[in-house]
Structure 1
Amino acid sequence: MTGNDNSRAAHDILDWVLSFLEDNEGYRVWPDMVPGQIYRAQPDRAPLSGKSLDTVFDEFKTGILPGITHWNHPGFAAYFNSSATLPSVMAEAVSAAVNTNTMLWKSSPAGTEIEQKTLDWLQKMLGLTGFTGITYDGGSASSFHALAAMRENFLGPEYRKAGLFGLTGDHPVIYLTEQTHNSIHKALITLGFGTDSFQYVRVNDDFSMDTLNLCELIASDKRSGRQPACVVATLGSTSCTALDPVDDIAKICREEGVWLHVDAAHGGSAAVLPEVREKFDGWEKADSIVVNPHKWLFIPLELSVLFVREPGVLKNAFHFSAEYLKTKQDGRIESYMDYGIPLGRRFRCLKLWFSLNYHGIDFYRRKIEQHLSLARLVYDALDRSEDFEIMAPQPLSTTCFRALPGSGEDADSFNERLMDAINGTGRFFISHTRLNNRFVLRHVVSGVKVTEKHIQGFLSLLMEIKQHMDN
């Protein structure tokens, strides 16, 4: 292709992106696909000769787009939604174009300093002070690095020399609940904490951590010669957005000298609303906090933020330099390569900088406030209905519920069939969890385009399919 052809094709792609972001309701939320269908439709080998840009994009639209689950769709109500607005999408293109690597200050002065400044902004938006922020690709990676810092703090400097196998006398205990995200378990196992170190704290009726039981377990573990190392609290659990009593947990951790990690990957963004922030009392006392702007601040994947109280501990866990990475600026300004496994780092914070500048804080407050109100419509409608039961409180914007079968059918299988039927329409997409060992449906309001029209549409479809299944 000539330069003019490429320019025309690039503008056509941009026009498609703009149109898609403006209105994508013509697409099925969840594709009508079977496993392997997209894979088998692709050629066995990459093309020997290249194709034009418009041809490649046409092949995307015909061969890949039909297999996309549309997280940006207003009918997407599963998991925790990750939707994006125009400025953040444009920032992704700009970031890819400049293609800078933020591993060192020298390798990207602007990338390093904009990340520092933007995360300072975010911290203030959420009502926090005194933390240092670092970005990673997702909440799993952020929690992994937070827990690596916890391990460094627990084991001390001797660990770097002796390793885990040289420190067999330590018996650390990590306190979790049934609501703790599975990425925490994976991170701990990877970091050398076997499952024997996991201590599960009882939950209350609202699925929050029972602090009385936490105290009992800590005391029991200390009596048996085990060493309490960390409590993982959650603000907005994945199953039902349970909120742990972080202020009480923080007091216990301070008294016991235990690291407090707060997983607020989804829920943390809601702290942009001052009236919601009181639900997060105590998180400012944590040693580490994870918040994902790509969940509820309308930033495209991937952008997670780890806030740490003592960045030096995190740096001690990962710093290992090499001659080819030394610069004259060392010691005068931080290099993000020292705070994690990755050396190569995208300029991922640019999309948050674009978005905060374009939208302003009030936009996020209005949107999240709207989401909380819309979620309440779902909760109240199902709570009033004789055909459904609410399965958990609704502290944020997730409704956990299930249908009551009109026949003698097993409730778990009935609700699974109901979920599949809703998703099969292509109009909405919901997911499930298990609470008290029962199959529970989840409806989440966090997409940037969701309105009351979509809420009423979902409720009507839900009632219609449920009635049809009963009959």
Structure 2
Amino acid sequence: MDWAVFETWGKRISAWGRQYHETIRNRPVRAQVAPGDMLNALPASPPEQGEPLDAVFRDFEADVMPGITHWQHPCFFAYFPANATPPSMLADYLTTVIAPQCMLWQTSPAATEMETRMLDWLRQSLGLPDAYEGVIQDCASSATLAAVLTMREKALNWAGNEQGLSGQVRLRIYCSDEVHTSVDRAIWVAGIGQENLVRIPTKGSMRGMDPDALEAAIVADRAVGFLPAGVIISVGGTGTGGTDPVGAICDVAQRHGLFSHVDAAWAGAAMICPEFRTLWQGVEAADSIVFNPHKWLGMQFDCSAHFLKNPDDLVRTLAIRPEYLKTHGTDGIINYSEWSVPLGRRFRALKIWFVLRSYGLDGLRAMIRDHVRWSVALHDRLAAAPGFEIITPPVLSLFTFRFAPDGATDLDALNQRLVDAINDDGRIYLTQTRVNGALAIRFQAGQASCTEADVAMAGDVILEIAAQMERT
């Protein structure tokens, strides 16, 4: 492809992108396809000869787009948002065009230094103390893995990487049932083992870890020869928004010399609003914190902000410095590849810069406050609707509910049918979870282009389809 063709197609795809977003409400939120549709549309063998891009793009629209679930749809109320605002898209387009490899300062000085500044902008936006320094990880799962590896190395006096875990004392990591499954995976990858991830009971409406139970578990484990290494704290967990009492858990961790990591992947974005910071009161005592700007700040996947009180511990855990990765003749530089598991790094700070400068914190705060307010209004509406019950109250813009009409049996099956019927209808998209073993339906508002009318319409759809099910 010559550059004139590139320019032509760049303009055409930009125009297509505008049309896509301006008409996205006309599409069903969730892909309405069957397993195998996309696979069967693709030839079994690669082409021997090149084809004109017109043909490729025609097949993209015909074969690919029907199989896309539209995460940027304003009625996407499932999972958590993965917002891609226009400034973020433009920044990622520029990143794609210049295609830098940002593993070292010398390979992309501007990217490295912008990352330093943008993470400090985000730190200030969240009200975190000056003591924290930040790095962009691809996702919260990677940040949690990095934190678990650091817990392991600190607890073993930095012997794990060198000697392996065979013959070492068994480590213990603590969390509640409300944490994301990425914690389990981090425990596996770090070699600590599922049996050594200790689940601490929760209590209260926030479904938070019990500090007294945590302390008792640590003491009991030490008494039988285990080595407590760290605690993972949930703020706004995926299932119900479960949130631990951050300050109290950090106090326990500090008393026992444990490394503390706060997973606020979704909820952390809301901390740009000072009134929501009570949700993680005491967070300044944590060793490590992660949140995803790509969820609720419109900074396009992938972009996860990982803050550390002592980055040297992370670097000591992850850094490998062969001669070909050394930067000679320059002191005091940061090589962010030493702060993350992958060596290769994209220029992700650029989209943070574009978004913060385009909207400002006031614009982003207004969006988050609207989402919370609209979601609470829907919660109140469903709480008052006959046949519905609230299972967990709102945590920011997330709550769970269940359809439980009089005389209904097997509520799990009934609510799964309701979720399936809603998603097959296509106007909105919801997901389910389990609370105390029983199935419940999740609702969260967070898509950047969502309006108050969209959330009200979600309530109409839920009530309408539930009424249809009662009549059949």
> With structure 1 as the length reference, what TM-score do the two structures score?
0.97
Matches within 5 A, 1:138-149: 138-149=139-150
Paired position in structure 2 for 1:290: 290
Instruction: Please report how far the alpha carbon of residue 21 of structure 1 lies from its aligned counterpart in structure 2 after TM superposition.
Output: 2.9
User: What is the one-letter code of the residue matched to 1:198?
Assistant: L
Partners of 1:391 and 1:420 in 2: CA distance: 19
% identical equivalent positions: 35
- Aligned-partner Cα distance in 1 for 2:160–2:301: 34
Q: Is the 8 A contact 2:74 2:449 kept in 1?
A: yes
Give the whole-Å Cα distance in 1 for the aligned partners of 2:43 and 2:307.
45
Q: Secondary structure at the match of 1:80?
A: coil
CA distance in 1, matches of 2:324, 2:3: 38
Residue 200 in structure 1 maps to residue 199 in structure 2: yes
Distance in 1 (alpha carbons) for counterparts of 2:210 and 2:388: 28
Higher mean displacement: 282-291 or 46-55: 46-55
Q: How does 1:335-350 map to 2 (within 5 A)?
A: 335-350=335-350
1:134 alignment partner AA: V
2:425 counterpart residue number: 425
- Confirm or deny that 1:184 pairs with 2:200: no
- Would you say how many aligned residue pairs link Structure 1 and Structure 2? 469
Q: Which moved more, 1:3-12 or 1:52-61?
A: 3-12
The alpha carbon displacement at 1:417 in A equals 0.3
Query: Per the alignment, in what secondary structure is the counterpart of residue 393 of structure 1?
Result: strand
The Cα shift of 1:53 comes to 2.7
Matched AA of 1:391: I
The reply on whether 1:88 has 2:72 as its aligned counterpart is no
Q: Partner of 2:171 in structure 1?
A: 172
- Which range moved further: 231-240 or 52-61? 52-61
Structure 1: how far apart are the matches of 2:3 and 2:159? 59
Q: Deviations over 1:63-94 (max 9, x none)?
A: 10110000100111000111211000011110
Determine the C-alpha separation between the residues in 2 that align with 1:391 and 1:331.
56
**Is the Cα–Cα contact under 8 Å of residues 234 and 243 in structure 1 kept in the other structure?**
yes
What is the 5 A alignment of 1:30-49? 30-49=30-49
CA deviation profile, 1:203-246 (whole Å, cap 9, x unmatched): 11321111121122122222222222111110100001122100
Q: Distance in 2 between matches of 1:281 and 1:205?
A: 16
Name the SS of the counterpart of 2:136 in structure 1: strand
CA contact (8 A) 1:126 1:271 kept: yes
Match of residue 134 from structure 1: 135
Inter-partner Cα distance in structure 1 for 2:267 and 2:457: 25
CA contact (8 A) 2:241 2:399 kept: no
Residue 202 (structure 1) shift = 0.6
Question: Secondary structure of 1:466's match?
Answer: helix
Q: Which moved more, 1:223-232 or 1:66-75?
A: 223-232
Alignment of 1:145-164 (within 5 A): 145-164=146-165
Specify whether residues 2 and 248 from structure 1 end up closer, same or farther in structure 2 by C-alpha distance, changes over 3 A only.
closer
Question: Is the 1:406–1:470 contact (alpha carbons within 8 Å) kept by the matching residues of 2?
Answer: no
Query: Which residue number corresponds to residue 264 of structure 2?
Result: 264
Q: Is the 8 A contact 2:158 2:317 kept in 1?
A: no
CA contact under 8 A between 1:405 and 1:411: conserved in structure 2? no
| Correspondence for 1:408 | 408
Partner Cα separation in structure 1 for residue 459 and residue 285 of structure 2: 40
Q: Which amino acid aligns with 2:102?
A: T
**Cα displacement (A) at 1:406:** 4.5
* Deviation of 1:2 (Å): 6.1
1:49 Cα deviation from its structure 2 partner? 1.9
Cα separation, 1, equivalents of 2:137 and 2:86: 22
- SS of residue in 2 equivalent to 1:337: helix
Distance 1:395 1:2, change over 3 A: closer
Q: Distance in 1 between matches of 2:19 and 2:42?
A: 27
Match in the other structure for 1:451: 451
Is the contact made by 1:371 and 1:445 (CA closer than 8 Å) also made in structure 2?
yes
SS in 1 for 2:402: strand
- Unaligned residue ranges in structure 1 (runs of 5+): none
Contact 1:6–1:53, Cα closer than 8 Å, also in 2 = no
Aligned residue identity for 1:195: Q
Report how far residue 259 of structure 1 moved.
0.9
Structure 2: state its 5+ residue gaps: none
Q: 1:371 & 1:175 partners in 2: Cα distance?
A: 32
1:453–1:465 Cα change, 3 Å: same
Query: SS where residue 135 of structure 1 aligns?
Result: strand
Q: CA RMSD in A?
A: 1.4
Q: TM-score, normalised by structure 2?
A: 0.96
State which drifts further: 224-233 or 235-244: 224-233
CA–CA distance in structure 2, aligned partners of residues 205 and 58 of structure 1: 54
> Any idea what SS the aligned residue of 2:203 has?
coil
1:387: how far off?
A: 1.3
Which residue of structure 2 lines up, in the alignment, with residue 351 of structure 1? 351
Q: Distance in 2 between matches of 1:107 and 1:9?
A: 29
1:439 is displaced (CA, Å) by 0.5
Q: Aligned with 1:360: secondary structure?
A: helix
CA offsets per residue over residues 278-301 of structure 1, 9 Å max, x none? 221111211111110111111221
Shift of 1:58: 2.1
For the 8 Å contact 1:378–1:399, the answer to whether it is kept is: no
**Partner residue of 1:369?**
369
The alignment partner of 2:265 has SS state of: coil
